[in-house]
Structure 1
Amino acid sequence: MNNSTVNYTTPETSTNSTTQSFGPLQILEMCLHSIIFAFGLSTHTFVTWFIMTRTASGFELEFFFLNLSVSEIGNCLNSLIRLLSFWYSGLSTLKQCLKGLAITGRPLFQCLICVERYLAVFHPVTFLKYKPLRYRVICCTAAWIIILGSCLGCMFIVSHYIVYLWFLSLQFLHFVSIQLFCLVAVLRALKQSGPGERGRERGEENHMKRRAFHIILITTVTMVIIYVPLTFTALFTILTNLIIQEVWSPSMICYVLAGFVQPVLYLHRTGKLSCLFSPNLKPANAIILLFKSRD
């Protein structure tokens, strides 16, 4: 097996902090973890605070996104631990455990958000039936139990890198398939024109649906950038039995940088980035108009 291994997929060996030297790829990984911790923690903390201080109806509608932000805060703290583990090998057990949060938390809650959007557009009666907060709490409780199981599992399988990579790949393929199905279906629905409305109201509806279409399209492309390179890299590693850091680094860069898109889009949608973007974008209003056009 190639000796060029990567820290986020294989267990690290203990090193003496006084004699350890870092190569370019190790420095790149340290920079990535620093970016995740510095920018991700502040962004997701603000999103979490903003959702929790909204009205009851707003909190209910954004409950899945709240749990996603909490999960991402855990990933940011995990990045700090991974950064410190370059000098303190005693953190390896905690780091291995939190890998389950990194590979399960984000795709699972994103999947719940996508399924919710799909139900809102294509099955509005079912969506309204399960809209109350108690059903969302049940879903998120089940999700956190799955994440906890993933964390415990990673503690035992991360040393067997083939098993770990199969675990990662199958999770990503499963969750991403559901997300892409839901997002593409919503894109097709937004692309269709509503019947019978004329003049200014029709133009306003088309304008808002077009903007919502762009947001969903950006989300879809982001999902592909986040998960597809990492999944193919894991499958390549399984098939070749080689862990090549030069192959993993670009995939991790995509995973890290594309992960900032969704919270930025959320802040944009809620008007908190009005200083940088136009505050007129309200995809939720477009979805409501879409309901009316389908009735």
Structure 2
Amino acid sequence: MEVSYNNSHRPLNATDDELTVYEQCKDMPAVLIWYLVLQFINMFLGIPANLMVLWLIHKNKGDSSTSDIFITHLAILDVFFCLSPPLELANIVFLTSSSSSWYVLRFFYGIKDSSPLFLCCICLDRYMAVVHPITFTELKDRHHRAVLAIVVWLITLAHAVAKCVGNIANFEKVFTVMILASFAFMVFCNISILYVLKQSGPGRDVMHPVKKRAFKMVLIILAIIVFNYSPPVILLPFHRYYSRAVYLCYIHYIAFGLMDFSSSIQPLLYLSKEKLRCCQSGATRLP
């Protein structure tokens, strides 16, 4: 049976329009159930965590880092995406593949697909701060960062609308190229930063506070890359080599499930970093 794959987080097949996704996977439902549970965990963790991130950035705006503007927009994007699990549950379990509600869900998917672009912006900001500090100092004002954030949102919305429309020829390649390019760019930035920090000074055991903060940000981004974005990078480019059942019921739910969980992982890591910084600041004030 020939299967048509698109970029809507699920393969389409005209003969299965009257079946729900759950019915199509009734013989192998384990990963699908795991995915739905993970999505609801993502909702209950991600929404309050991202709102807390937004509150902390607003509260500490006088002592904010240059990357906070991108972290803010990423948190807003993740809050929006974390609203989708109830609709996704209804679509997967109760509604057929021909239901018009899939258009709405594909818009949510399209928004989330572009979240690596904001992570790339964070990596670029840290890369410039550590690898090219002179240039970074000259560009420290936030005007160009706001412009870059707007450009990313325009790309995100355009991608989400195009994905919502669906059935655009070869549109799945857009996501594949975007996730591979984003992954490669983030890895390059992080490796470059770690290399420079390692070479920061021979015989010095104490890292400069600014570089130490940058190092922590690198670890946060690196954790997100490895845990959340490796599965789609490894699995999705080879989707045409899987059987239809394996792809529908296993591969793409594993890949997107872990990628989508970044909506919770990213703010939780940020909050843990902020808590550590507060503890260190409190310790330095002790007599």
Q: Residues 204-283 of structure 1 correspond to what in structure 2 (within 5 A)?
A: 204-205=206-207, 213=215, 216-217=218-219, 219-240=221-242, 242=244, 243-257=247-261, 259-271=263-275, 279-280=279-280
Deviation at 1:29, TM superposition (A): 2.6
2:189 equivalent among 179, 182, 201: 182
Q: Which amino acid aligns with 2:59?
A: T
Deviation at 1:60, TM superposition (A): 5.3
Q: Which amino acid aligns with 1:10?
A: P
- Contact residue 40 and residue 85 of structure 2 kept, 8 A: yes
Alpha-carbon spacing, 1:128–1:210, altered in 2? closer, same or farther (3 Å): closer
Deviation at 1:210, TM superposition (A): 6.9
Question: 5+ residue gaps in structure 2?
Answer: 282-287
Task: Show the counterpart of 1:154.
Answer: 163
- Contact residue 107 and residue 172 of structure 1 kept, 8 A: yes
Deviation at 1:41, TM superposition (A): 1.0
- Contact residue 64 and residue 109 of structure 1 kept, 8 A: yes
**What is the CA RMSD across the aligned residues, in angstroms?**
3.4
2-side partners of 1:272 and 1:109: how far apart? 24
2:113 equivalent among 81, 85, 103: 103
Alpha-carbon spacing, 1:118–1:109, altered in 2? closer, same or farther (3 Å): same
Cα-to-partner distance string for 1:208-240 (whole Å, 9 max, x where unaligned): 967864662453243033222212321221345
- Contact residue 32 and residue 250 of structure 2 kept, 8 A: no
2-side partners of 1:210 and 1:142: how far apart? 30
TM-score by length of 2: 0.78
Number of aligned residue pairs: give it: 266
Deviation at 1:253, TM superposition (A): 4.0
Greater relative contact order (CA < 8 Å, ≥ 6 in sequence)? 2
TM-score by length of 1: 0.76
**Partner SS for 2:170:** helix
Alpha-carbon spacing, 1:212–1:138, altered in 2? closer, same or farther (3 Å): closer
1-side partners of 2:180 and 2:130: how far apart? 24
Alpha-carbon spacing, 1:115–1:210, altered in 2? closer, same or farther (3 Å): closer
Identity %: 23
Q: Residues 75-224 of structure 1 correspond to what in structure 2 (within 5 A)?
A: 75-86=81-92, 87=94, 89-104=99-114, 106-157=115-166, 159=167, 163-195=170-202, 202-205=204-207, 213=215, 216-217=218-219, 219-224=221-226
Cα-to-partner distance string for 1:248-295 (whole Å, 9 max, x where unaligned): 333234324455333222112212797xxxx339xxxxxxxxxxxxxx
Q: Which amino acid aligns with 1:185?
A: S
1-side partners of 2:182 and 2:31: how far apart? 29
Alpha-carbon spacing, 1:213–1:76, altered in 2? closer, same or farther (3 Å): same
- Contact residue 50 and residue 78 of structure 2 kept, 8 A: yes
1-side partners of 2:188 and 2:83: how far apart? 31
- Contact residue 169 and residue 235 of structure 1 kept, 8 A: yes
Alpha-carbon spacing, 1:20–1:167, altered in 2? closer, same or farther (3 Å): closer
**Partner SS for 1:225:** helix
- Contact residue 71 and residue 122 of structure 2 kept, 8 A: yes
Cα-to-partner distance string for 1:174-209 (whole Å, 9 max, x where unaligned): 11111111010001111124158xxxxx54337996
2-side partners of 1:113 and 1:212: how far apart? 11
**Partner SS for 2:275:** coil
Alpha-carbon spacing, 1:111–1:68, altered in 2? closer, same or farther (3 Å): same
- Contact residue 130 and residue 214 of structure 2 kept, 8 A: no
- Contact residue 187 and residue 217 of structure 1 kept, 8 A: no
Question: 5+ residue gaps in structure 1?
Answer: 197-201, 282-295
